[in-house]
Amino acid sequence: MGKIEDAIQQKEFKNPFTKAVVNLLYTHSYLVTAQNGLLKPHDLSPEQYNVLRILRGQNGVPTTVSSIQDRMLNKMSNASRLVEKLKSKDLVKREECPSDRRQVDILITDKGLQLLEILEKQVDESHKNFLHLNEEEVNLLNDLLDKLRG
């Protein structure tokens, strides 16, 4: 990928803060494109993959659509729509909550868990390849990104 100036064919930026924001936005697009390429053969979007990972993290405990929405990386995603798409692929199931009939519980299926298991090695390896950083640099980047968000 190289320097942001080369990637977007811009010689200079107004200031380093503008450059950093443009760099983050461009890098986000780069990472999403790479992730899309990895997930597309499995008929998954990054948002659907995120929902499956959230549900796997529940360790068999049902959760609600609103809880999934709260935990999603992309807060603009429509968790209800994503759950329905995953349900149509038999990767999740929706069940009426026994204690509150208005609430719908969401669980990952065995098929969903198997898909995540298949993807896990590919995703881990691709993350290392996308970043072009060693472990010390990744730790520094994580610290800086956490600081950036305050």
pLDDT of residue 119: 95
pLDDT in tens, 3-45: 888 888 888 899 999 999 999 999 999 889 999 999 999 999 9
The parts of the chain modelled with pLDDT lower than 50 are: none
Q: Name every residue whose Cβ is closer than 8 Å to that of residue 62 and which is 6 or more positions away in sequence.
A: 95, 97, 105, 106, 107
Output the pLDDT for position 1: 57
- According to CATH, what is the number of the domain 12-148? 1.10.10.10
Rounded Cα distance, 26 and 7, in Å: 9
C-alpha dihedral over 22, 27, 28, 33, to 10 degrees? 130
